[in-house]
Each structure stands twice: as C-alpha cells, then as structure tokens.
Structure 1
C-alpha cells in the first residue's frame, strides 16, 4: 500500500519546510491541549480558593510522570515506523506499531495500580500537605486510571507523524481539546464539581483523542497488524530497546519539575501558584518548541532508514535555525505582553514577580531546551536512545538541583527559576556536541568507539515476525 495523499516522504524536498510544517501542525494540537489546561487553571481560580490552584499544580507534577512514560513509548513507535517507512518496508512498520501499542496499554494499566495506593506519600514527596494534598489526591484518583487511553492515542499520533501525515496527527489533539473545553465549564460550574470536574473532562477528552487517532491510523494506512502473542512478544523485545531508554529519558523531565516544585514550596503557596501558572503558560506559548522533538524525529528516521545521512545532518542544523527564529519572536511578544498576562491571573506580590521574571529574559532559555529536544530526537531515531536518557537525567538533576538550590539561597523563589535556566544552557551544549558526533557516524558509538547498528538488528526481528 502506497502512502496516501495525506502523508508524504521526508527523503525528498526542502528540509526546512518539512520541519516547519511538521512542527507547526504538531504544535497546533499541543497548543490546543495546553490552552485548555491553562483555561482549567483560570476556571479553578474563578472559584476563589487559592489552594485549589496549588493542588492542581501538585497533581500536574505527578501526572507528568505518567504522561512521560506514554511519550517515551510514542517516541519508540515513531522511530521504528519512520525507519521502516524510509526503507519502504510497510510490513515492518505495522509490526512495530502494533507491538508498541500493546506495550502502551499494558504499562498504562500498570501505572495507576502501582501509584494510586501510595498517592498521598507521592504527593508528599513534592511538598504537598494538608488540604492541598487531599484535593490533589482526589484529582489523581479520577485521571490516572485513564493512562492507558492516553498512551494508546499518543502511539497512534506518533505513527501518523512517522508516515508524514502532519494534518492527521493534528486533528485528534484538536478534538480532545474541544471536548475538554466544552465539558470544563459544565462540570466545574454547572454541576459544581470543582477540581474533580476538570479531571473528569480530561478523561473524556482523552477517550475522544484516542478514538480519532486510531481511526485515522487504521483507515489511512492500515497502520497496525493484528496482534498475535508470539509475534508481539518477539517485536516487543526489539521495541523496548528504544522504548525503555526513551521512557527513562522522558521521565527525567517531571523529575526536574518535581525538584523545582519542591524548591518553590519552601517559599509558600504564592510561589507554587506562580510556578503552576508558568508551567501551563510555557507549553501554550512554546508549543512549537515542545512539538519539535516529535515533529523532527520522523524526518531523522525516514532519512536514516533511506541511508541519507547528508539530509540527517541538514535536518539537525535546519532545526536549530527554525528554533532560534521561533524563540526570539515569541520571547519578544511575551515581554511586550507581560503586564496584561500577569493581570489575567490576578497575580500580585511574589507570584507577579515570578511571572515578570519568566516573561522577561528567561523566556529566551527555551532555545536551549529546544536544542536538547532536537538532539534527543536524533539519538532516538539514529539508534542511540541511551544518550537521550543520560542527557535528560543529567539536565534534570545535575542541571537543576544544585543550581536551583544555590540561586534560591541567594535570591529566593526567583533564584530557583534562574538556576533552572542556567543548567539548561550547559547541557544544551553537551547534547549538541554529542548529537553531531552521532550523525557523523550513526553505527559508531561516539563515546565508547565500538560499532553497532541497533536498527538493523531490529529489522531482522521485524522481518522474521512478518514472515511467520
């Protein structure tokens, strides 16, 4: 089956255009989701209870762990399908998609079973206590059981991107955001469910997203093979080689967020509420940066699968150019609008100071986070996902905790934000250097020096499964 007219090949044409189209279409879906998340905070703030916003912030930190696992699985699906598509091996692409989807459902069912019995203790680790902890726990009891739904939808969207179907990957997220936007005021205000209503709305939105994403992937590409236990077992062994380090790498991000939240908690609920607003504002404004890794990954993967290393390197540099242009533009816009944005959230005192600090010079630091995202996409799609694990964990531990603590001791809550940004600059440089070494010789480990091509070993497994 050939690609439909909704998809396309990244092994031909202008790479900067491919990056722009994939990033903007991916970001539209992300922006819609995060915009609704931001509106959640506005609705909750309208209830007139500051502790509700702080509770939502604590719950979001924990939810990020579950989402990070799903993102890691979607990275594995996208990398394997894109490489197979670059080789024009549709059977291998279907097997990879099916194995990863089955694994996503299994993990998504396991996470709430392990986490919910200890939810109060987990929330305590990020600084939540008293009434705020109880409200956050109730929120998590509603939303965590839908983790497998979110995982399956993320895998399906990643598969669509791997086929070059930018629009098809965008629409499920838009649908989910629309469902959430409609249900939020009904459940929060009309039915007087408050924070719990926001959680229920999110669950329904996840179901809608999953249904449309799977529908597109199956109807347009027959993207999933019928799962058989023996076949999936063989495929999972190879898929986990990418999925496991990708999951570990992605989980590092909420670890960093938890460290920052815990440090902010030292300065009171006002500081935590300010951080909660920033954490929801950043994904909306810089959704293109957050989308860049998932958007550029299939471009790396298809060209690597086709043996076009010249285009792989060009993709990396064009990605950095695109990133710089976008961050500069949005940072300038945030600076101009910093007053109205702070007023929108009725921010005063320390909360307003934190918002002004981020909406000023610190917004530019998103470039360095984006550079790490591009580097990680190259690692995941060129057969070295372990490097994304090490880079992300180093950035979100060594690149946050000592800086946040040291600067916090000097400047308080604003120092925590400054320290977090400085750590990103350091590790962006490391990630860029290592990525260029990988692109230069993908089958050679740039640190250890030995030769290996994990994607070729994976293809042996896929072919064997497809012939069975």
Structure 2
C-alpha cells in the first residue's frame, strides 16, 4: 500500500460521482477489449470449419457453468473483503483474500476432474454427435486442465476491486486477451516450427494467456500490494471464511445461471413463430449485450463501494451512490435507445438479407431497448443486495424478474400480439420488476441503517 495508493479512489470519503466514474471507466475498457478478443477467437475457429465451430459452441454451457461459479465466488469475495476494509480491518481482509483463492482453486479443480472424466456422456447429453466429439475433446481436455488458472485471476481481480482498484484488473484482462489473440492463429494454423493444432491450439492459446494472468495476479496480491496473506491458514479459519464467501457466492452463482435458463425458454417460445423469429432474437441478444455494457460495468464497480461503506456504516453514502447510478443509467440508456431506434433499418440490414428477419430485428430494436434503463435498475439493485450481504434477496429478485414477470409476460404478449407482443411483454415485465427492485432496496437499506447493519 505504497505511493500508488493516493491515485486509487477513496471509497469512504471521496466525491461519490467522481469515485464511481474513476472506477467504472477502466472496467468498461476491460470489458470492450475482452469482448473484441472473444470475437477474434470465434473468427479463427470458424475458419477451421463448421464441425469445429459447432464443437466449440457445444462447450459454452459447460464452461459457462464453471465461470458462473467463479463469478459467484468473486461477488462473495469482493463483498466480504470490501466490508472488512470499510470497517478498517486490514488483517481480516488479507485472510479473507487468501481463503477465497484456495476455496476457488479447490472447487474448480474438483469440478474440472468430474468434467474431464464425463466429457463423452455429458456432451452426448447436450446433443453432440460422434463427428464433433473428437473436436470437443481437443478443446475441453486442455480447458479442464487449465480452468484453475482462469478462475484464480477472476478471484484476484475481485480482491483488487474490493480495495477500490478497477484499473489493474482491466489492464490484466486486456493483456491476457491480447496474448490469446496473438497466439490463436499461430497455434491453430501453425507457423514456422509450431505445428497446426486446430481446435486444441485455440484452447492452448487460452491456457497460456491464463497462465500469464495467474502469475501476474498472485505477484500483485501477495508480493507487490500485500493485499492477501501467503501460504494457507489453519483449516478451521479457512472453513469459517469459506462459509462467509459461499453464503453470498452460491446464491449469486445460482442467480447467474438463471439467465441462460430463461433465455433458453424464450428461444423456445420464439421458435413457435418460426426460424426467422429465432434468428432475430439471437441478433437482439447480441445487440443487448453491447447496449448494456455501461450497466454491466457499473454492476461491477458499485458493489465494492456499497460493501466498504456498509463496513463503515455510511448508509447515506450508499443511498446517494445507488440513486445517482440509477439516474445516470436511466439517462444513458435513453440516449442508447434513441441511437438504436434511429439506426434500426441500418442495423437490421447489417445482420440479415431476409426481409422477415430484418422486420423482426427492427421490432426488437424499437421495443425492448426502451426498457434497458429499467433493466439497469434491476441489475444494479441485484449487485447492491449482494454487496450488503443480502444474497437471498438478490436471488429472489432474479427469480421474480425472470419467472414471475419476464417469461410469463412475454408468453402472454405472444398470445395476444405475436412476435411484437413477446417484445412488448418483456418491456412491461422490466417496468414492473424495476419498480419492485427500487422500493425493495430502499426499504432494506432503511432497515439496515436503523438496526446499525446487524
């Protein structure tokens, strides 16, 4: 905690809006670079052929499950450490960080061993045919071996964010992504003495970039910044801290896994309107992921702020930050909507030549993004609940959002108005859930401030 400390935002005393901006911009940069590198990855694999691309597509549900667990653990890690730092307990924060690294390593190694031993039955269950299984093995054999080197930097980045440093994780993500993009063509197609390895080359490129991130993050946390203890604490202490992290991490991971489940149900619903509707919905999902980048970045930077101030019992600062983030997101997403709506014809033409698909894409753009600001309120409330150590509230909100409002309203809208009705149902569902989320969070925060956080 040396000369660079002054450059990092003070979450407990600094100007709230300036602090949030200082933390969010680097995260946004990291997410954009990572997204572009992922596109590069997919591009090179697609050059190998359809079977290879299909094989890697089959791996997404499995890799997403492991990564969801890691995201849940990183949410739990960040909340526990930021609260300790906010209350001024540096030693507890260092112990919590060490336990989080070991816990994630143990869980991911266990999952990877099970995954590795069940590749054939698992992917047959997912619908993989015999001709794609060899390519799935090429990719997943290496992926399972190296998964712990992917997950450890994710937990390490959560420790840094808990301390208010969002710039370093973003630089680490960008460096690892860049290395992966450079190695991809060399290992996939071969170059000089390096043989062409195909799909296995793509997985090996990822593993090498993870190893770089793994080495850098451990050096930063344990040697340079001394944010985490070294070695391994006594087993009883490790179990005690792990319970705290899993108390938040497991519900957060569960909430994370609900989204693809709801997306699968909605895709099946769209399939009843034909392949064109499914294609348009797929394009819409890509548009949504780009249009919601600022919300997602804020959902990573608001929780450390909330948790540190929760540790310091500064409930007024939490309230001010939450409200200012929501006001900003509503204004920002309205601008995004106006831009998208104006470019709807152009966007649809970029993605398809089919007139019916293009029409559905335009309907999607004119209706659903109008609610992305409301969706932002839900996402920020969810992450703030986790930051206040209220993970079951966050999980309940996710369940209510997807299965009480979104899927039923989309279905009813479809019955009443076809594809347009599905999109309108989704928009109305976001309005109901956002109102509920806002009042629920305000009530919980008021109750905490009265009880003093007990």
TM-score (normalizing by structure 1): 0.81
**Structure 2: distance between partners of 1:333 and 1:147:** 39
1-side partners of 2:153 and 2:272: how far apart?
A: 37
Q: Higher mean Cα deviation, 242-251 or 355-364?
A: 355-364
Shift of 1:108: 1.4
Please give the per-residue CA displacement for 1:145-201, whole angstroms capped at 9, x wherever unaligned.
543333211111111111111211211111122123223344555677666554444
User: Which residue number in structure 2 is paired with residue 159 of structure 1?
Assistant: 159
- Measured on the aligned residues, the alpha-carbon RMSD in Å equals 3.5
Cα-to-partner distance string for 1:7-57 (whole Å, 9 max, x where unaligned) = 2321122212222222221121112112222344445556674x7766655
Distance in 2 between residues matched to 1:332 and 1:132, nearest whole Å? 46
1:432 CA drift (Å): 1.4
- Relative distance call for 1:262 and 1:47 in structure 2 (3 A) is farther
Change (3 A) 1:43 1:279: farther
Identify if the C-alpha distance between structure 1 residues 395 and 141 changes in structure 2 by more than 3 Å, giving closer, same or farther.
farther
Given that 2:73 and 2:245 are in contact with CA atoms closer than 8 Å, whether structure 1 keeps it comes out as no
Separation of aligned partners in 2, 1:215 and 1:351: 50
Q: What's the counterpart of residue 182 of structure 2?
A: 182
Change (3 A) 1:25 1:267: same
In 2, distance between residues paired with 1:204 and 1:354? Answer: 42
1:264 Cα deviation from its structure 2 partner? 4.8
Deviates more, 1:345-354 or 1:117-126: 117-126
Distance of 1:125 and 1:396 partners within structure 2: 26
Aligned residues: 446
Residue pairs, 1:333-352, within 5 angstroms: 333-339=339-345, 341-342=347-348, 344-345=350-351, 348=354, 351-352=357-358
Matched, 1:113 2:113: yes
Q: 2:441 aligns with which of 427, 435, 442?
A: 435
Cα gap change, 1:166 to 1:110, in 2 (>3 Å): same
Larger radius of gyration: 2
- Where does 1:135-174 land on structure 2 (aligned, <5 Å)? 137-138=136-137, 139-140=139-140, 142-174=142-174
* Conservation of the 8 A alpha-carbon contact between 1:65 and 1:251: yes
In structure 2, how many angstroms separate the alpha carbons of the residues matched to 1:271 and 1:387?
A: 34
* Correspondence for 1:319: 325
State how far apart, in whole Å, the 1-side matches of 2:435 and 2:98 are: 36
Aligned equivalents of 1:133, 1:264: Cα separation in 2: 27
Which segments of 5 or more consecutive residues in structure 1 lack a partner in the other structure? Answer: 445-450, 455-468
Range that drifts further, 202-211 or 380-389: 202-211
Q: Tell me what 1:371 maps to.
A: 377
Equivalent-residue separation in structure 2 for 1:269 and 1:436 (angstroms): 43
TM-score by length of 2: 0.84
Aligned CA distance change for structure 1 residues 108 and 26 (closer, same or farther; 3 Å): same
Question: 1:152, 1:210 within 8 Å by CA — same for their partners in 2?
Answer: yes
In 1: Cα distance, 2:266 partner to 2:362 partner: 18
Kept after mapping to 2: 8 A contact 1:264/1:271: yes
Query: Partners of 1:274 and 1:193 in 2: how far apart?
Result: 35
Question: Alignment partner for residue 227 of structure 2, among 220, 223, 227?
Answer: 223
Please give the alpha-carbon distance, in whole angstroms, between the structure 2 residues aligned to 1:155 and 1:238.
15
Q: Is the 8 A contact 1:371 1:432 kept in 2?
A: yes
* Structure 1 residue 258 corresponds to structure 2 residue 264: yes
Instruction: Give the SS at the match of 1:399.
Output: helix
Tell me how far apart the structure 1 counterparts of residues 118 and 271 of structure 2 sit (CA, whole Å). Answer: 21
1:448 paired residue number? none
Change (3 A) 1:29 1:115: same
Corresponding residue for residue 307 of structure 1: 313
- Contact map agreement 2:184 2:202 (CA 8 A) in 1: yes
Structure-2 change in CA distance of 1:326 and 1:123 (3 Å): farther
Q: Is the 8 A contact 2:313 2:449 kept in 1?
A: no
Q: Deviations over 1:396-424 (max 9, x none)?
A: 33334334444455666666555444433
Give the deviation of 1:125 after TM superposition: 7.5
Check whether the contact 1:162–1:298 (CA below 8 A) recurs between aligned residues. Answer: yes
Q: Distance in 2 between matches of 1:29 and 1:301?
A: 22
**Match of residue 253 from structure 2:** 247
